[in-house]
Amino acid sequence: MRYLLLFLLTLITSVLAYGVDPFENLQARYLSLRNTDVQTIKQEQWRILAGNFESYVKKNSKSPNVGQALFNAAIVYEELWRNHKAEADYQKAMSIFESIPRDFPGDSFADDALIRVGDLWAARDKTEAKKRYLEVAEAYPDGDMVDVAEAKLKVLRRGGSSSKRRKSVDKSMPLIIVDPGHGGEDLGAKGQGGLNEKDIVLDVAIRLENIAKEEDLYQIRLTRRSDIFVPLVERTNLANDFDANLFISLHVNSAPVRTFTGLETYYLDNTDDQSSLALAERENQFFEQTGGVSDINFILSDLIQSSKMEGSIILANILQSSLKSHLEERWGLVRSNGVKKAPFYVLVGTHVPGALVEMMFINNPKEEKLLSQTGVRQNLAEGLNEGIKAFLQKTGKIK
């Protein structure tokens, strides 16, 4: 019996070991550097990581993550080139990006890679850039990069710049910074039906912005308007740089158990609740690779005393109540998991009342189906809008 138990233990350990995809660890390291070393100062760490992604692809050519692994490696070299201007990094980035649609044409990152190739060519040869953008439209007409490719083609045809001038802030109106979480190569949580968190939250955020424009009671500035990666420090700095009234970060949830459902809203604080800590750990995972977690209690203790803690609690409660009641008007009973506290890094840097909203569970098949519907996303945006207005009315910012 003893030997049988030892055999079974060894077998289980081996299965578990082989069942763990090392891509997740590489991805955590990658997001860590993308968020904390924006200027690619730690060049050696970046280059080692890029090499690790390339080695992963060679050893795991059948993995569903090969496209993203190559894409991330190419991004590393592109960022190194943009910051340090070494021609070898430019050529390496170009080579890897081009290999994705060539070697893995059906991969979900193939059209993204073509867009990046076009962007790299745009600074040197606009004709070559146009070819890549046209290839996206022709080869991936049903992909999520078609609109991006067409927009970039319009810019090239009229000879303008793709960068947009920042809209000025109307000082007479309350300003809300809305942060669609994740973006770009940071997909966020994933649903089994193919939905990605980054796409859902961006869609809801843009819908919310459109509602705000129509009602003209307050103004919104988004931390990202397209499927791009934005470091956390840039997201939170917007609220402080523009002296905003509120900061709201939008996410969709995921849990180990696929039957979990509902809405929950968070404000910044320490907690002993294990589920809240687990969620914060997932959202904060890139910081945990840098040793920043050891400083969180010190940061929080300072912020809790000097920041807008009371306002954040009120905001979180109003948003939670508004979302639940608004969704139930059309979709029936919606589970409320309540207002909770957790140490989310995206809320740490803001000096204004802030909340993080988790809009349903994407790994629950029923809720993923709901999130895929434009009507539900519109209702989520409407619920957020009603909550924002209620908070601004309560605090005397609008009548």
Give 355-395 pLDDT, tens digit per residue: 999 999 999 999 999 999 999 999 999 999 999 999 999 99
Residue 339 has pLDDT above 50, yes or no: yes
156 has a pLDDT exceeding 70: yes
35 and 136 housed in the same domain: yes
Total domain count for the chain?
A: 2
Q: Is residue 278 over pLDDT 90? A: no
Q: Could you tell me if 65 and 189 lie in one domain?
A: no
Q: Residue 247 and residue 174: Cα distance in Å, rounded?
A: 12
pLDDT in tens, 185-195: 899 999 999 89
Task: Find the domain containing 20 and state its range.
Answer: 7-158
Average of per-residue pLDDT values in the chain: 84
Is residue 165 in some structural domain? no
Regarding whether 308 and 192 lie in a shared domain, the answer is yes
CA-CA distances (angstroms) from residue 196 to 200, 245, 342?
7, 29, 23
Compute how many other C-beta atoms are within 10 angstroms of the C-beta atom of residue 24: 11
Residue 104 has what pLDDT? 95
Query: For position 300, which CATH number holds?
Result: 3.40.630.40
CB 276 within 8 A of CB 342: yes
Within this chain, do residues 135 and 213 fall inside the same structural domain, yes or no?
no
The strand order across the sheet containing 175-180 reads: 219-222, 175-180, 246-253, 354-361, 263-268, 336-342
Q: 198 with 132, same domain? A: no
- Give pLDDT, residue 127: 94
Rounded average pLDDT over 117-141? 94
pLDDT of 273 reads 58
Separation between Cα atoms, residue 389 and residue 100, nearest integer Å: 46
The answer on 209 and 141 residing in a single domain is: no
**pLDDT for res 275:** 57
Indicate whether 142 and 226 sit together in one domain: no
* Average pLDDT of span 52-71: 96
On the question of pLDDT at 300 being above 60, the answer is: no
Structure pTM? 0.81
Query: Judging by DSSP bridges, how do beta strands 263-268 and 354-361 pair with one another?
Result: antiparallel
Query: What average pLDDT does this structure show over 229-236?
Result: 83
Residue 166 lies inside a defined structural domain of this protein: no
**Higher-confidence residue: 380 or 13?**
380
